[in-house]
Amino acid sequence: MTSSLSRALSSEEVARLGEELDALKQRTLADVGEADARYIRRVVKAVRYTELLGRALLFVGIFPPAWVLGTLLLGVSKILENMELGHNVMHGQYDWMNEPSLNGKTYEWDIVGTSDMWRKTHNYEHHTYTNIRGMDNDIGYGLLRLFPEQRWRPFYLLQPLWAALLALLFQWGVAIQDLELGKVFSGRKSKAELNAQWQPLKKKIRYQLLKDYLFFPLLAGPFFLTVLSGNLVANLIRNLWTFMIIFCGHFTAKAEVFPRSVLDNETQGHWYLRQLRGSSNLRGSKLFHILSGNLSHQIEHHLFPTVPARRYRELSVEVKAICEKYGQHYNTGSLLSQFGQVVYRIFRHALPSRPERTTALLSA
Amino acid sequence: MLGVNTEKRWLGAIVSRDQFDFWAQQLGSTAAWERCFARVVSRCEEADDTISLTLKPNANFAGFRAGQHMNLSAIIAGRRVTRSYSFTGLPCADSKQESVSITVRRDPAGVMSDWLYRHAQPGTVLEIGGVFGEMTLEEIQPAATEDLVFLAAGSGITPMISLIKARLAQGVSSLVTLLYWGRRPSAFCFDDELNALLNAHPNFRVHRLTTQEPFVGQPLAGRIHSEQLEQVLGADSSAPRAFICGNAEFVETARQLMNERASTCHVESFSPPARAPQNAVVESITLTLRKSRQVLTVSNQDTLLDALEAQGIAVESGCRMGICNTCTCTVTEGQTRDISTGQLNDGPATRLCVSQPVSNLQLDL
Ligand SMILES: Cc1cc2nc3c(=O)[nH]c(=O)nc-3n(C[C@H](O)[C@H](O)[C@H](O)COP(=O)(O)OP(=O)(O)OC[C@H]3O[C@@H](n4cnc5c(N)ncnc54)[C@H](O)[C@@H]3O)c2cc1C
Ligand code: FES
């Protein structure tokens, strides 16, 4: 859209930027300990108790206020579990605790997608190749054209509709992302490969669907439908919320995409710079940050994905200072303004558009 | 058994393993889906700086054999810390009724033993991981006529007391001899139990040997040496089978001294053996973690376990001295050296706690 607000850096500057960010990370990790453990255990507690309360209220959901409150609580529980707990634990942020239930490699979250697929598409692909066209599938999830650099096709004309559907069904989008159905249809991926991926996913989907739409409703006996509808709406609330937070992380007006060529000889410093230019933050209250899984600090998350997310707030002060020092734009704003920019992108790039000149990462 | 599994299947449809464990804990129970939590039911001062704890494990405990040890974990300053401790009692016929005893000698500079000494009280919940150890009568199968001699130093008594009880319970009439070194009279554990065994079994002998302060009216026995062994064992007619346990230094000396007297020596060391030659030239090694797709730079002077932990990568570990296999991991590319032997590792399965990299490595982590 607009040209970058950041200036191009020399190789030496990039190297120094990398060193400063590395040092900041080491300092923070050295301080991680008991307080962080206590915090994540409190989050687990909040997830479990809100879920219990929500489900209990839905059992008496025949009274409308109980249904509304129960649904909201269950929605909040799922949001907290997916974002502040699951997402962060799967990044290995709490692996140092040696606690099997908080182990990033084995954690399984309350969503139809499997954790194993997520660890691949998100932890590896998205975090390593952030905002690189053709490598980071999170750019539009193969469904949307969010940057003028993406090639326009008539399919995108209806993308406001596709985006709305993706938002409503976001957990399904995440679940099937790694199946790369597009590749299967075009014959670039074999049925056997697809089937190997489908089996564990099928199991997870069945578990999730039976739990929320059969077993819990059955437990409620005559109130089968009130529980079922509550669970459905709770999942929906979670879908909309996560869609909104995640889209604000990389698709605001000033967020940049990169061509594959940035990877040629990419140093640690470059990688940091690319994370910084491709991510955007959200301002808000403490509760808002927690409910976003601290992805409201997307910049800090992308710079330091293995540092416990509750640290991002304090880290942001120093990251901002480093950005200023190196003339880099620190992309942040209110949810309203950032999401507004995302929505604008969805509408604008449904139509053909041409990239503007952006500032290169490196000065020639 | 069938009942439990069917219940679990149904329950598993609406609660996950972690949810189950969470609510059990909230309700004050040690029950768990698979993990084995254990509650401390009693604590007593056993000797100087040494406590004994009795633990009641939950139904997931799979039992143990006399002479074995377990990985015990406690949450200390937010981290789950794991160390090995030996079972000091005899296994119970019905594993559902089992309670297990351990004796912990405090190392004031140590993480776990100091924490247990200061904080473990009735009610404290700990976690039992795997149970390990080949120094058991079931494994060794000593003949009924064979004399056994146990040499223990300090907290090395812990697996010995259990083995002695097990041997005497076999009702054999061959000799069972315990040589037990401690710093001072107040440092010896299990006085009552040993005395009771002495009264009940005429074929059992105990020699307590002091190394710093003697028993009243007796000379200082001193650290293990040849004449001590001659005095105690010299008159015996046949070469006994020896069991040796203590710190690395004691175990090494005792093994050398017993080699000529004993038919066989079985040893267990509680501390890492003196580290064999390290990689002579200090080098940086590129360490690739295959599954988590990370690339790290480590020194060839550190064990892989230390190096990974220093970079914030958590690896399951237990004894940290190459005994329990908890940290074992597949090396998919490259060469490592076992620092307890100084030899290059030949197979891909590598115990990270006693291995140093020799070349660039890829691990299946
Ligand atoms: C098979 C087996 C059975 C055992 N059974 C028993 C038993 O029944 N009873 C019992 O009391 N113990 C037993 N032990 C020993 C026990 O597992 C622990 O090693 C012991 O309790 C000390 O643990 P810790 O956490 O307190 O000390 P650690 O924190 O592990 O430290 C041990 C010592 O090393 C020093 N140290 C730690 N890190 C470093 C470093 N980086 N550089 C230099 N020095 C360092 C510390 O100062 C301390 O003195 C057994 C061990 C094994 C292997
Ligand atoms: S931790 Fe026990 S073998 Fe390595």
On the CB side of B163, CA atoms within 13 Å amount to: 35
CB A124 within 8 A of CB A116: no
Fold classification of B284-363 (topology level): Ubiquitin-like (UB roll) (3.10.20)
Mean per-residue pLDDT for A166-183?
90
pLDDT attached to residue B1 = 40
CB atoms within 10 A of CB B195: 11
Does A238 have pLDDT greater than 80? yes
Q: In b/e form, how buried is each residue of A270-282, taking b as 16+ CB within 10 angstroms?
A: bbbbbbbbbbbbb
User: Chain A residues within 8 A (CB-CB) of chain B?
Assistant: 29, 33-38, 44-45, 48, 92, 95-101, 103, 105, 108, 124, 128, 207, 210-211, 215-216, 219, 306
A-interface mutation test, from B10, B14, B127, most A Cβ less than 10 A away: B14
- If you compute the radius of gyration of chain A from its CA atoms, what whole number of angstroms results? 21
A288 Rama sector, left if φ>0, alpha if ψ -120 to 50, beta otherwise? alpha
B-interface mutation test, from A90, A98, A216, most B Cβ less than 10 A away: A98
CB A331 within 8 A of CB A299: yes
DSSP assignment, residue A125?
I
* CA of B316, closest atom in ligand 2: 1
Q: What's the rounded Cα separation, in Å, for the pair A313 and A319?
A: 10
CB atoms within 10 A of CB A303: 23
The closest of A129, A163, A145 to A354, measured between CA atoms, is: A145
Nearest CA in chain B to A124: B293
CB B53 within 8 A of CB B104: yes
On the CB side of B363, CA atoms within 13 Å amount to: 27
Among B22, B35, B314, the residue with its CB nearest the CB of A96 is B314
Mean per-residue pLDDT for B216-221?
91
Q: Where in chain B is the domain with CATH 3.10.20.30?
A: 284-363
Phi and psi at B286, nearest 5°, equal: -90, 120
Q: What is the dihedral sign for C-alpha A21, A24, A30, A32?
A: negative
Which residues form the pocket of ligand 1, taking CB atoms under 6 Å from any ligand atom? B 69, 83-86, 102-105, 107, 109-114, 155, 158, 268, 270, 319, 321, 323
β-bridge pairing B148-153 and B241-246: parallel
Mean pLDDT lowest among A237-251, B32-46, B341-355: B341-355
Structure tokens at B23: 């609510």
CB A126 within 8 A of CB A138: yes
What rounded mean pLDDT belongs to chain A? 92
- If you compute the radius of gyration of chain B from its CA atoms, what whole number of angstroms results? 23
pLDDT attached to residue B277 = 58
User: Which own/partner contact pairs does A216-224 have at CB distance under 8 Å and 24+ positions apart?
Assistant: A216/A55, A216/A58, A216/B14, A219/A59, A219/B14, A220/A58, A220/A59, A223/A58, A223/A59, A223/A60, A223/A61, A223/A62
Q: What is the dihedral sign for C-alpha B239, B243, B245, B251?
A: positive
Tell me what percent of the residues of chain B surpass a pLDDT of 70. Answer: 96
Fold classification of B17-132 (topology level): Elongation Factor Tu (Ef-tu); domain 3 (2.40.30)
Distances (CA, A) of A11 to A270, A273, B81, B150: 9, 11, 43, 67
The confidence band for B139, taking pLDDT boundaries of 50, 70 and 90, is very high
DSSP assignment, residue A261?
G
From the CA of B190, which ligand is nearest? Answer: 1
DSSP assignment, residue B323?
S
* CATH tag, B137-269: 3.40.50.80
Q: What's the rounded Cα separation, in Å, for the pair A37 and B304?
A: 25
The confidence band for B292, taking pLDDT boundaries of 50, 70 and 90, is confident
Distances (CA, A) of A167 to A249, B99, B116: 15, 54, 51
Tell me what percent of the residues of chain B surpass a pLDDT of 90. Answer: 70
Does A37 have pLDDT greater than 60? yes
The confidence band for A2, taking pLDDT boundaries of 50, 70 and 90, is very low
Nearest CA in chain A to B25: A45
What rounded mean pLDDT belongs to chain B? 91
CB atoms within 10 A of CB A82: 22
A101/B21 CB distance under 8 A? yes
More confident residue, B273 or A204: A204
A98/B81 CB distance under 8 A? yes
Nearest CA in chain B to A46: B22
Q: Amino acid letter at A154?
A: P
